Amino acid sequence: MLTAPLVDGYGRIHRDLRISVTDRCNFRCTYCMPVEGMTWLPRSEVLTFEEIERVARVCVERFGVDSIRLTGGEPTVRAHLPALVAKLATLRVADGEGGVRPIDLALTTNGATLRTVAPALVDAGLRRVNVSLDTLQRDRFVELTRRDRLADVLDGIDAALEAGLAPVKVNAVVMRGVNDDEVVDMAAFGRERGVTMRFIEWMPLDADSQWSDRTVVGQDEIVAAIAAVFPLDPIVRGSEPAERFAYRDGRGEVGVIPSVTRPFCSTCDRIRLTADGQLRACLFAVEETDLRELLRSGASDDELAAAVARCVAGKWAGHMIGQVTFVRPRRSMSQIGG
Ligand code: SAM
């Protein structure tokens, strides 16, 4: 029962819902979490699978949301994740011609347990996966993630490919003086393994407040480094945030997500549901809409839909990183859901 698309005050239509299924993680990436002292949400505050499915269903059926990404924290540490995937994989969105089509369902993971979980996720209806990997060097991986699991992640990427997940995208956050010397090696890795590398500009969402604009490696620098070794041609940009480039020799493509140097706020179509049921219209939003309270107090689907629409209607124009008016959100990336 499509009522209307989710439009904000700037005319942006929202079709992409990012759902964090947990704030917990089995890594402690330096740019995301402190080494210790994280306070996890009590389990009673985390949405159940039934609650998540209900919000997702309202967004898909009422507003034509057609893309759902499961994230965290680390989504694979949530018990029985395939059961949630199975519920969400049944959602159908109106195709505009009187019929319906499946939604695009994907998972963002650090990949460390994919060898074990990928087959069950595929059986449950998952089609594609994004794996986060910021370095190919073991010592550096240990330093960055505070875990010695590079081999597991590399094996997890192979497992995802073997299980038939396609495409497998590998996301790397590039940080000056940390891993910026590995951009070409990682591009080569993507070409060899048949996975699409996406380089992400580091954003001010770390728990330790280490971010500064001097530590951001911008898109131009990343693309120039890769193109000097593997010539590239730009691909015309669609609605997705990544700027994409094709390898001139035909061996796939590479992308950059330039959230800091070329923010894509004007075409942003994303909303986010945190693990504790707070809806955010922007990654950097300082206000949240409490859907859990509605879900647990007997609200109808109409009331839920109205709350979602109100949240999106109040979305601001852009995140303002780098400007004096920028305010860091209270929560870090792992607590919001990246
Ligand atoms: N644990 C999962 C994973 O590793 O993909 C999902 C959650 S993680 C928070 C999602 C993505 O956010 C990862 O690709 C991670 O590298 C990215 N991320 C975390 N902090 C970031 C920051 N400050 N700037 C840019 N990306 C960040």
Which mean pLDDT values do the consecutive 10-residue runs of the chain (338 residues) have? 85 96 94 83 97 98 96 97 98 91 97 98 97 98 97 98 96 95 98 96 76 89 98 86 94 93 88 96 89 98 97 83 65 74
Residue nearest to atom 20 of ligand 1 (CA): 32
Q: Is 20 in the pocket of ligand 1 (CB under 6 A)?
A: no
Q: Does the CB atom of residue 144 touch ligand 1 within 6 A?
A: no
Q: Is the CB of 179 under 6 A from ligand 1?
A: no
pLDDT at residue 327, as a whole number: 66
pLDDT of 33? 84
pLDDT at 285: 83
Q: Which atom of ligand 1 is nearest to the CA of 110?
A: 4
**Closest alpha carbon to 28 in 148, 136, 155:** 148
Q: Cα(173)–Cα(116) distance, rounded to whole angstroms?
A: 25
Give the position, in ligand 1's atom list, of the atom nearest the Cα of 72.
7
Q: What is the pLDDT of residue 207?
A: 65
At residue 167, the pLDDT reads 93
Shortest-distance atom of ligand 1 to CA 171: 14
| Residue 131, φ and ψ in degrees, nearest 5 | -110, 135
Write the DSSP symbol of residue 97: S
The closest-lying atom of ligand 1 relative to the alpha carbon of residue 131 is 5
pTM across the whole model: 0.94
77 CB within 6 A, ligand 1: no
CB of 200 shorter than 6 A to ligand 1: yes
For ligand 1, whether the C-beta of 72 sits within 6 Å is yes
Give the CA dihedral 299, 338, 77, 118, nearest 10 degrees. 110
pLDDT at 321: 64
> What is the amino acid identity at position 278?
Q
Give the single-character DSSP code of 40.
P
Residue nearest to atom 4 of ligand 1 (CA): 110
Phi, psi (rounded to 5 degrees) for 165: -70, 130
Confidence (pLDDT) at 35: 81
pLDDT at site 241: 81
Return the ligand 1 atom nearest residue 27 CA. Answer: 1
Name the residue at shortest CA distance from atom 13 of ligand 1.
132
Check if 25 has its Cβ closer than 6 Å to any atom of ligand 1.
Answer: yes
Cα–Cα distance list, 3 to 20, 65, 178, 310 (Å) = 26, 12, 48, 14
333 Cβ inside 6 Å of ligand 1: yes
> CA 64, CA 78: separation in Å to the nearest integer?
27
- Report the residue among 70, 130, 132 best suited for mutation to probe ligand 1: largest number of ligand atoms under 8 A from its CB: 132
Report the nearest atom of ligand 1 relative to the CA of 338. 10
User: Could you tell me if the CB of 132 is within 6 A of ligand 1?
Assistant: yes
Report the distance separating Cα 294 and Cα 187, nearest Å: 45
Q: Give residue 328's pLDDT.
A: 66
The two tokens of residue 173 are: 């956050």
Residue 174 tokens read as 């590039």
Q: Got the DSSP string for 69-125? A: EEESS-GGGSTTHHHHHHHHHT-EEE-SSS-EEE-EEEEEE--TTHHHHHHHHHHHT
